[in-house]
Amino acid sequence: MANLQKLPDPELTVRANMGQVRRHLALLIARVEHHGTKIILRRHGKPVAAIVSMDDFHRIWEIEDEEILGPRDPDTGRRMGAQWVRETGWKPEGRTVIAEVPKDRHWWMRLRIGKSPKQ
């Protein structure tokens, strides 16, 4: 981890264990913020989370929104909605779905108060 500053290509994906992250968090965040490096966090050798730039995070959010709420209406610019996706069975073309349409319309409230969604 000490040689992180010497990486020739700042666009690399870096893998770091939790101990390294604790010691070098400020450096890792600076690499993500200024160079677009993606950090994969590992616990006991297994990937558990990632640190990515806000631009990357917004792209992920946009993809999830499309998968959960459907495509944008060309006239209004608004998404079709989760109910429309459930009723029509719509799926985005040409890619693997990363987010599932929630069965319960109040799923987001449980996330805000710390309860896990019903399965």
Confidence of residue 20 (pLDDT cuts 50, 70, 90): confident
Find, among 74, 88, 70, 82, the residue nearest to 106 by Cα: 82
Q: From residue 102, how far is each of 43, 73, 80 by CA, in Å?
A: 29, 21, 15
Q: Is residue 103 part of a domain?
A: yes
**Residue given tokens 């990357």 in the structure block:** 56
Domain residues for 62? Answer: 55-113
Residues 42 and 62 reside in one and the same domain:
no
Residues 48 and 65 reside in one and the same domain:
no
Sheet arrangement for strand 38-43: 13-17, 38-43, 46-51
pLDDT digits (tens, 9 = 90+) for 49-67: 889 999 999 998 888 888 8
Q: What is the CATH number of the domain that holds 19?
A: 3.40.1620
Q: Is residue 21 part of a domain?
A: yes
- Between CA 92 and CA 96 the distance in angstroms is 8
Q: Is residue 6 part of a domain?
A: yes
Number of domains in the chain: 2
Q: Is residue 119 part of a domain?
A: no
Q: Is residue 95 part of a domain?
A: yes
pLDDT digits (tens, 9 = 90+) for 24-33: 889 889 989 9
Domain boundary among 52, 78, 93: 52
pLDDT digits (tens, 9 = 90+) for 62-114: 888 888 888 898 999 999 988 888 888 888 887 676 666 556 655 555 555 55
Q: Is residue 118 part of a domain?
A: no
Q: Is residue 80 part of a domain?
A: yes
Give residue 11's pLDDT. Answer: 55
Residues 43 and 60 reside in one and the same domain:
no
